[in-house]
Structure 1
Amino acid sequence: GSSGSSGNRLLSKYDPQKEAELRTWIEGLTGLSIGPDFQKGLKDGTILCTLMNKLQPGSVPKINRSMQNWHQLENLSNFIKAMVSYGMNPVDLFEANDLFESGNMTQVQVSLLALAGKAKTKGLQSGVDIGVKYSEKQERSGPSSG
């Protein structure tokens, strides 16, 4: 376990209803079954990487199928990178450990809902109406640090 509690509490709490919507959306797009435990089903990253390749073909060129922890974490970090290149705001992203360590499933949920909204904004047709259209934030003018 990690010592010290983070004082930065999210306003939203975990919503099982939204989890059900996400499950339907992800399974519908990937054709893969997440299983009864949402966190366990997603934590190896293969389903998420497959999802990303459906939304943006080729965005995750290599998906590790191994059960090694570091391979699974690599999948997750590739998925997160792919979300960035898909146009997501960094504030909407979760970290690999949020899902892998099951430390912050609320943030994972927020990210996936934002991703669903982003996909909708880009005109993705899916069987589930999920997520709100992604709000384009005002770009700051000036040099972007990359």
Structure 2
Amino acid sequence: MANRGPSYGLSREVQEKIEQKYDADLENKLVDWIILQCAEDIEHPPPGRAHFQKWLMDGTVLCKLINSLYPPGQEPIPKISESKMAFKQMEQISQFLKAAETYGVRTTDIFQTVDLWEGKDMAAVQRTLMALGSVAVTKDDGCYRGEPSWFHSPQDLALLAPQLSSPKQ
């Protein structure tokens, strides 16, 4: 929550429940897949939720990821800029989200820009990336790179959705 003060009372409890859904092991798997999928010189971030957020926050890695899932010349985001301006970074995140939905990720699996930008719900970001990987595995276009078993099929994901959204015990 970069632009807000600390949460108190019920707001604090809700934020803690959201934070409990974040999976560090899943973070590692997603980082490895993104780097492999993009096949570019993308630096591996240090482990941890804050580093994962910072790595994705400008939208550059996300845009490179979605572009890598399309054949050359058909990329949905033609211009990716490494801008330091907040509105440009949020615009790139929004472009990624629109492209992910067009690619086949269900609207209900798409995170909100503030979930990533402010770090409000990094578990939602993980769910979107898992859904994107699951859709990519099922497409038979030769663009997916990685181990197919890393992701569930979209049908399995629909069955697992209640489990993925409940806090870990």
CA shift at 1:7, angstroms? 6.2
1:35-83 superposed Cα distances (whole Å, 9 cap, x missing partner): 2111100110001000100012411122122110001000000000000
TM-score, with structure 2 as normaliser: 0.72
The structure-2 alpha-carbon separation of the partners of 1:83 and 1:39, relative to structure 1 and needing over 3 Å to count, comes to same
Higher helix share: 2
Runs of at least 4 residues of structure 1 off by over 6 A?
6-10
Q: How far apart in 1 are the matches of 2:113 and 2:155?
A: 24
Alignment of 1:131 onto 2:151: yes
> Do the aligned partners of 1:34 and 1:42 also contact (CA within 8 Å) in 2?
no
User: How do 1:52-91 residues align onto structure 2 when only pairs under 5 Å count?
Assistant: 52-56=66-70, 57-91=74-108
* Runs of 5+ consecutive residues of structure 1 not aligned to the other structure: 138-146
Matched, 1:33 2:43: yes
Structure 2: runs of 5+ lacking an equivalent: 159-169
1:49 — aligned with what? Answer: 63
After superposition, give the CA deviation of every residue in 1:107-134 in whole Å (9 maximum; x if it has no partner). Answer: 0001101111010011354233422011
- In the alignment, the residues of structure 2 paired with residue 127 and residue 86 of structure 1 have an alpha-carbon distance, to the nearest angstrom, of 18
Number of equivalences: 136
Cα distance in 2 between the residues matched to 1:22 and 1:133: 16
TM-score (norm 1): 0.82
Task: Return the letter of the residue paired with 1:116.
Answer: G
2:135–2:154: 8 Å Cα contact kept in structure 1?
A: yes
Match of 1:142 in 2: none
Q: Distance in 1 between matches of 2:27 and 2:63?
A: 18
